[in-house]
Structure 1
């Protein structure tokens, strides 16, 4: 019977190899993921010529020294998530494995082995929230592969069994694997993690490993379609770092193991998305944090991979500014060794500022991004967006914008409220239907964004704000959007144009047409500056002794307003130091009106 089973498995593998994506007979030996055997010496030599990368390298080693004395990780859930533990495991194991390979200090390898055994002994890796499994599987896979020659045989067996039982097996269970059909970051993170597990244990679990890798290659294309046509990542700043970070881990991992990524990196818009990300921060260092994103900008680990792939050092201009700050601030920092591995391919002297002042992206969440100066603290910055509230992680913010001038962010986005703070209060956060409780959360609805509100109503979830025109001439930089379907119950037509004029001020022009019923329009801007009303059509914002005038022009009478940004529910996050300013106006039925608002920095 055993002989029959063995023959059957051999036949299965033989047939599989003939029909599969990769030439599995040519997989690299361990270590095969990202940094192959013998590449350490060359990496160390090149790091010394890169001051910023030397700093990153030293930062990793310093963290590893702290890890040596920290308590082992424990399986403690926060609400429904084990994600913080999985991320801590990935950071510890990746850093420690890197430190051992760079220094050959056995303490780092031994501690990494202990970390892997600890998490392998967990009852499970929380498959009900499969991101936790994806990141944990990647963590132990990297350690298993990178430390393959120094791990105890008994440890390798335990870790290998954990990858199969706690990674592969639940990924086959329909209760847990809906991410295989997702078109967003869940697919990228979970597929990348399981694929790393497959590449790590390939020799001993060949049948399962091929199954996992082939499934990955069939399903990973779903979220990659979201980058088309030109790289505007629909989920915004932080989720580009998350989803794209793990996508690069996958692409680079399979390329290092098999010599090819089978065209994944060449999918429409993917490589172009690096340019989108470069324009997503302004001269203040704040990001255009629409959707579930945080305002502070950070260096992006994977930008060095894009700069290498595209042979474009200008992609590292903003990253280098972040890396030169007193405090090292890096997004998705548990993947930090990749910044060094990929970064050594670009010499510091080659890095230069981008040539263009504007970037336009269409697709699921169309954006226009304008930066008139690439030096920190200088010039004007505009980020304006269209799209739909129905997109993953989106808010009701079609037509919303941010604006920097004089080194101040005058028009801001409140951004993310931490999920657990809402989930623990029973908020139905992930339902994106029109009547969902999600839209009662203050930071998520249109009342708390720099956009229009009609008749005191929520935006239409099924609406879509289309980018209709780009302005790229030197004296006019920005874009126009059609917001008609966002307000289809209240207006016949609505367009918004946001442009920086002659690099001196921002002009926001809204053209509205009512139908059979009159309408009340609210124009809102969220700010951390101090507001005051100067005259019937001018609001003055003051911040650190600097001023900006908001000047309104309208054929209909306007009523300037200053509203509080105090939360409306007990579960809402506080917004200290923030107010909302703007105006309200009334339009009769079958009336057309143009609202022109200038945001004029006072030099």
Structure 2
């Protein structure tokens, strides 16, 4: 049967299949489970429901609960009956799984009959999928990277949520599908990552309708994905399947063993402080799944892996990357859908330090689990007040009775173990944040070494792009490159980056923090990125960047470049304009960035004459206007460039800061919004010598 006729047949049979009872497929369902606490829920028991019901009324969860309970069930039903395509896993299977996850939980909490009906319909459709993912090994065996993993987890938890309404036959069929379509696919994935030399070749399923234009080479994926979120999701799913079927399926013990060894191996991807390399958004997704597996393992089998990583530290990592702003945000879901471009909404209240593919927000559902499990008051504060909670797991784990404590002032300056540096004045939208992207390669990275984000007076003033393309075939792939960041170019070229033919995997580019210091009202950091630029141009001898942040709203950026042959250097400063409210002007060696709530005035001084100009990235009009300022230093073998930037609220008049040369020293003096500025920089030393007068 060809793909098109097969699709037509599957769609037309959906309504009939959905109306049938679950088929009776035995999975030794009557066999006793001798494991301790075997009858307990995977994540919660009936005794937890009063607390969970109270959480649904908590202001923290009001929006989430309203979205869940008021979902358009009629539209979901129409989709499930008439629109599900069994060869579409990226969109359709994900939606089916999300319906199962949402409506089964709603039923567990309030016994809503309409949600029960739609979740049973969605379960039927998940079971109808002949394959649970769209990747194959050797053209035959399904690899469970996301869809098979997510379906396994959703169905396992749905068994808990629907425990009082599913018949033994229905339970048996669900468990049988987990055991035949879910767990084996996840096992194949993790086995291939553990023993990549034994893999017979990973590739896309030719029967799936995933666009050919976005199909990258998977030849090295067993190696590439071994250190990414796409290892943790099948790890959690395989482990949860092993716990669910412990003592009742002959492979359950081997599933559990591989899942635990995979989780342990992946734990080293977190720094000792809990820092995570794939950015804030992937952090939430990944860490939550690690915790889901650990909690299930503890509740059902009494095995305690709840300290596998520094969980209290990792929620502090998320806290360090929070950056709420002001404004109305931006909703890209209104634009035409492109599977290779993220479509998450930009919500200013949940804005983040979005280096690389950090998307637009982080989900801190895991903080509620950390607070309860580790009795961590700061994690509880994060769970109550920081970022967003977008999953039912936050509702399940949150406990209002857990003590809470706000972050201390010392946590306003963070040098994370992955060399990301963040300095701030506080945690509110009106507070200021400066962030530097130093560090090494990682999955989902951009070509963004030594790039800077600067937020002040509620606005992104030095921006990092949202929604960069995930496929090199999309125009928005350009937003991954150095030129699309507040970073440095040499003769118009950024540092080393890959071509995207294997996906969004890591490059070979490194930057390393050489110095990090803090004091009353200031932070300084120097990061060296010579190696990253040498991979593109062997003439490069030195590239480093030093930040002097004078809180709340003065930022000095010193860039030093040494070359064996004369070349020009450009500094890029990106303007946030996704909401069409950002603009920039430039005159001589100065520039001005405007946003609705704040402005930024800046000058660039160099050892050669500097000129500033405005531009915008070469993208189709449908992708919006992405403006930037470019400061150019003409061809030379030595470049020393000092950017002096000062932000102020809209309507204020800045006093202005001056830059003078006094021998080898560069001096920045003046007063800005009542802040006396007196900084001396000697850029001739191996590390710039900095003196901040107080």
TM value normalised by structure 1: 0.81
Q: Relative to structure 1, is the Cα distance of residues 543 and 493 closer, same or farther in structure 2, using a 3 angstrom cutoff?
A: same
Partner of 1:72: 80
Partner of 2:527: 481
Match of 2:642 among 568, 584, 596: 596
**Within 1, Cα distance between the matches of 2:514 and 2:552?**
22
Q: Which has the higher contact order (CA 8 A, sep 6+)?
A: 1
Mapped pair 1:202 → 2:243: no
Mapped pair 1:41 → 2:56: no
User: For each residue in 1:551-571, what CA deviation from the matched residue of structure 2 results, as whole angstroms up to 9, or x when unmatched?
Assistant: 11212111212122232xx7x
Mapped pair 1:103 → 2:110: yes
CA contact (8 A) 1:97 1:146 kept: yes
Q: Relative to structure 1, is the Cα distance of residues 105 and 558 closer, same or farther in structure 2, using a 3 angstrom cutoff?
A: closer
Helix, strand or coil at the partner of 1:124? coil
Partner of 2:465: 414
Helix, strand or coil at the partner of 1:441? helix
Please report how far the alpha carbon of residue 309 of structure 1 lies from its aligned counterpart in structure 2 after TM superposition.
3.6
Match of 2:509 among 463, 467, 470: 463
Partner of 1:352: 406
User: For each residue in 1:139-195, what CA deviation from the matched residue of structure 2 results, as whole angstroms up to 9, or x when unmatched?
Assistant: 111112332343122212221221122112333444569389711100111111222
Please report how far the alpha carbon of residue 119 of structure 1 lies from its aligned counterpart in structure 2 after TM superposition.
0.9
Q: Relative to structure 1, is the Cα distance of residues 276 and 145 closer, same or farther in structure 2, using a 3 angstrom cutoff?
A: same
Match of 1:219 among 235, 246, 262: 262
Count residues in correspondence.
538
Match of 1:343 among 398, 409, 415: 398
**Within 1, Cα distance between the matches of 2:76 and 2:629?**
51
Match of 2:431 among 379, 390, 395: 379
CA contact (8 A) 1:315 1:354 kept: no
Partner of 1:520: 568
Partner of 1:3: none
Helix, strand or coil at the partner of 1:580? strand
Partner of 2:615: 563
Q: CA RMSD, aligned part only?
A: 3.1
Partner of 1:494: 543
Partner of 2:286: 243
Mapped pair 1:186 → 2:222: no
| 504-513 vs 25-34, which moves further | 25-34
Please report how far the alpha carbon of residue 394 of structure 1 lies from its aligned counterpart in structure 2 after TM superposition.
0.9
User: For each residue in 1:202-236, what CA deviation from the matched residue of structure 2 results, as whole angstroms up to 9, or x when unmatched?
Assistant: 3532x211111110011122332111132221011
Please report how far the alpha carbon of residue 518 of structure 1 lies from its aligned counterpart in structure 2 after TM superposition.
1.6
Mapped pair 1:234 → 2:277: yes
**Within 2, Cα distance between the matches of 1:45 and 1:127?**
40
Helix, strand or coil at the partner of 1:442? helix
| 306-315 vs 492-501, which moves further | 306-315
**Within 1, Cα distance between the matches of 2:492 and 2:91?**
39
Partner of 1:19: none
CA contact (8 A) 2:89 2:134 kept: no
**Within 2, Cα distance between the matches of 1:270 and 1:299?**
15
Q: Which runs of 5+ in 1 are unaligned?
A: 1-9, 14-23, 324-328, 428-437
**Within 1, Cα distance between the matches of 2:622 and 2:298?**
46
**Within 2, Cα distance between the matches of 1:41 and 1:321?**
22
User: For each residue in 1:302-361, what CA deviation from the matched residue of structure 2 results, as whole angstroms up to 9, or x when unmatched?
Assistant: 2222333443344455664578xxxxx64xx3xx221112211555x8353443211211
Q: Relative to structure 1, is the Cα distance of residues 541 and 172 closer, same or farther in structure 2, using a 3 angstrom cutoff?
A: closer
Q: Which runs of 5+ in 2 are unaligned?
A: 1-27, 136-142, 189-198, 203-220, 326-347, 498-507, 577-581, 653-694
**Within 1, Cα distance between the matches of 2:49 and 2:597?**
52
CA contact (8 A) 2:243 2:252 kept: yes
CA contact (8 A) 1:282 1:371 kept: no
Partner of 1:447: 483
Partner of 2:122: 115
Partner of 2:315: 274
**Within 2, Cα distance between the matches of 1:354 and 1:59?**
34
Mapped pair 1:124 → 2:168: no
Partner of 2:370: 306
Please report how far the alpha carbon of residue 407 of structure 1 lies from its aligned counterpart in structure 2 after TM superposition.
1.3
Helix, strand or coil at the partner of 2:312? coil
**Within 1, Cα distance between the matches of 2:374 and 2:72?**
32
Q: Relative to structure 1, is the Cα distance of residues 127 and 565 closer, same or farther in structure 2, using a 3 angstrom cutoff?
A: closer
Partner of 2:140: none
TM value normalised by structure 2: 0.71
CA contact (8 A) 2:44 2:396 kept: yes
**Within 2, Cα distance between the matches of 1:322 and 1:45?**
20
Helix, strand or coil at the partner of 1:196? helix
Please report how far the alpha carbon of residue 199 of structure 1 lies from its aligned counterpart in structure 2 after TM superposition.
2.3
Please report how far the alpha carbon of residue 446 of structure 1 lies from its aligned counterpart in structure 2 after TM superposition.
0.8
Mapped pair 1:32 → 2:41: yes
Q: Relative to structure 1, is the Cα distance of residues 472 and 83 closer, same or farther in structure 2, using a 3 angstrom cutoff?
A: farther
**Within 2, Cα distance between the matches of 1:180 and 1:401?**
27
| 298-307 vs 113-122, which moves further | 298-307
Q: Relative to structure 1, is the Cα distance of residues 474 and 46 closer, same or farther in structure 2, using a 3 angstrom cutoff?
A: same
CA contact (8 A) 1:181 1:222 kept: no
| 91-100 vs 517-526, which moves further | 91-100
**Within 2, Cα distance between the matches of 1:52 and 1:166?**
37
Helix, strand or coil at the partner of 1:339? helix
Partner of 2:558: 509
Please report how far the alpha carbon of residue 459 of structure 1 lies from its aligned counterpart in structure 2 after TM superposition.
0.9
Q: Relative to structure 1, is the Cα distance of residues 476 and 539 closer, same or farther in structure 2, using a 3 angstrom cutoff?
A: same
Q: Relative to structure 1, is the Cα distance of residues 283 and 101 closer, same or farther in structure 2, using a 3 angstrom cutoff?
A: closer
Q: Relative to structure 1, is the Cα distance of residues 560 and 346 closer, same or farther in structure 2, using a 3 angstrom cutoff?
A: farther
Please report how far the alpha carbon of residue 88 of structure 1 lies from its aligned counterpart in structure 2 after TM superposition.
2.5
Q: Which runs of 4+ in 1 moved over 6 A?
A: none
Please report how far the alpha carbon of residue 464 of structure 1 lies from its aligned counterpart in structure 2 after TM superposition.
0.7
**Within 1, Cα distance between the matches of 2:44 and 2:224?**
28
User: For each residue in 1:43-72, what CA deviation from the matched residue of structure 2 results, as whole angstroms up to 9, or x when unmatched?
Assistant: 335665x33245544443333866874532
User: For each residue in 1:283-309, what CA deviation from the matched residue of structure 2 results, as whole angstroms up to 9, or x when unmatched?
Assistant: 4142221212323x3552222223334
CA contact (8 A) 1:470 1:480 kept: yes
Please report how far the alpha carbon of residue 527 of structure 1 lies from its aligned counterpart in structure 2 after TM superposition.
0.3
